[in-house]
Amino acid sequence: QVQLVESGGGLVQPGGSLRLSCAASGFRLDGYTIGWFRQAPGKEREGVSCISSSGGMTYYVDSVKGRFTVSRDNAKNTVYLQMNSLNPEDTAVYSCAAASPGRMLWHACYAEARRYEYWGQGTQVTVSS
């Protein structure tokens, strides 16, 4: 069964850190572009970060550059999103998604959500004092 499962969300104070995990089962993540998306209450879904199948290319939305780091461990079939210096504006449901490079160009990884083949259920990140 093909499945992506996010974990690691929770409640954290401003300035704190969380590491989200995106674990795949039923298929291998190597060979897939992985995107992280978030959706805050009352806002549209936003592409936060992407990592290429090899890990050689990454993308970050401007608001998280320097604070978030995406990485992958293909041996563990898992992609991570390390989130540091969190602020309340980072509060959202974070989801990971996988797309075959053959059906989505790299430059569209943060925007073409409709082209992602597999999606996780999302994990809540709340940044509040």
- pLDDT in 10s for each residue of the chain, 129 residues: 889 999 999 999 999 999 999 999 999 999 999 999 999 999 999 999 999 998 999 999 999 999 999 999 989 999 999 999 999 999 999 999 999 988 788 999 999 899 999 999 999 999 999
Question: Residue 105: what pLDDT?
Answer: 86
Question: Residue 101: what pLDDT?
Answer: 81
* Cα(29)–Cα(83) distance, integer angstroms: 21
Query: Three-state DSSP class for 102?
Result: helix
Q: Which two tokens stand for residue 34?
A: 């992985």
41-47 long-range Cβ contacts below 8 angstroms, 24+ apart? 43/92, 45/113, 46/92, 47/109, 47/110, 47/111, 47/113
